[in-house]
Amino acid sequence: MDETVHKGLDGVVADETRLSAIDGDAGVLTIGGFALDELAGNATFEETLFVLYEDRLPTTDELADFRAELAEYRALAPATRSVVEAAAERGQSAMDAARMGLASASLARPASEAGDVNGETAAEDPERDALIAVAQLPTIVATYWRAREGEELVEPRTDLSHAGNYLYMLTGEEPTDSEVRGLETYLNAVVDHGFNASTFTGRVIASTESDVLSAVTGAVGALKGPLHGGAPGPVLDMLEETHAADDVRSVLAAKLDAGERLMGFGHRVYNVRDPRAAVLSEGAEAFYRAEDGGDEAFYESAVETETVARDLLSDRRPDLDLETNVEFYTAIILRGVGIPQPLFSATFAVARVGGWTAHALEQLADNRIVRPRSAYVGEYDRTWTPIDER
Annotated catalytic residue 155 = no
> Can you give the residue ranges of every domain in the chain?
28-110+126-228+342-365, 232-337
pLDDT of residue 117: 46
- Global confidence as pTM: 0.93
Q: Which amino acid is at 248?
A: V
Which residues, in sequence order, are CB contacts of 147 under 8 Å at separation 6+?
A: 84, 85, 88, 89, 153
* Same fold yes or no, 28-110+126-228+342-365 and 232-337: no
The answer to whether residues 100 and 349 touch, using CB atoms and an 8 Å cutoff, is: no
Question: Which of 46, 184, 306, 327 is flagged as catalytic?
Answer: 327
pLDDT of residue 185: 98
Q: Which residues of the chain have pLDDT under 50?
A: 117-122
The answer to whether residues 176 and 182 touch, using CB atoms and an 8 Å cutoff, is: no
The answer to whether residues 338 and 175 touch, using CB atoms and an 8 Å cutoff, is: yes
Report which of 129, 138, 190 is spatially closest to residue 360, judged by C-alpha positions: 129
Annotated catalytic residue 260 = no
Strand partners, 265: 324
The answer to whether residues 382 and 222 touch, using CB atoms and an 8 Å cutoff, is: no
In angstroms, the CA 346 to CA 28 distance is 25
CATH hierarchy code of domain 28-110+126-228+342-365: 1.10.580.10
In angstroms, the CA 347 to CA 138 distance is 8
pLDDT of residue 123: 55
In angstroms, the CA 40 to CA 184 distance is 8
In angstroms, the CA 189 to CA 186 distance is 5
Quick one: DSSP state of residue 265?
B
The answer to whether residues 192 and 199 touch, using CB atoms and an 8 Å cutoff, is: yes
Report which of 51, 345, 348 is spatially closest to residue 190, judged by C-alpha positions: 348
Q: Does domain 232-337 have CATH number 1.10.10.10?
A: no
Find the helix packing angle between 326-337 and 344-365, rounded to 10°: 120
Which residues, in sequence order, are CB contacts of 7 under 8 Å at separation 6+?
A: none
pLDDT of residue 322: 86
In angstroms, the CA 188 to CA 45 distance is 6
In angstroms, the CA 235 to CA 182 distance is 18
pLDDT of residue 318: 85
In angstroms, the CA 17 to CA 390 distance is 54
- Cα radius of gyration rounded to whole Å, the chain: 22
CA-angle at 36, arms to 195 and 223, nearest 5°: 35
pLDDT of residue 229: 73
Residue-by-residue DSSP string for 94-143: HHHHHHHHHHTGGGGS-GGGSSEETTEEPPP-HHHHHHHHHHHHHHHHHH
Strand partners, 35: 30
Strand partners, 363: none
Per residue, what are the HEC states of 35-100?
Answer: EHHHHCCCCCHHHHHHHHHHCCCCCHHHHHHHHHHHHCCCCCCHHHHHHHHHHHHCCCCHHHHHHH
| Residue 220 C-alpha from the chain's centroid | 9
Question: Which of 267, 306, 359, 362 is flagged as catalytic?
Answer: 267
pLDDT of residue 9: 84
The answer to whether residues 97 and 88 touch, using CB atoms and an 8 Å cutoff, is: yes
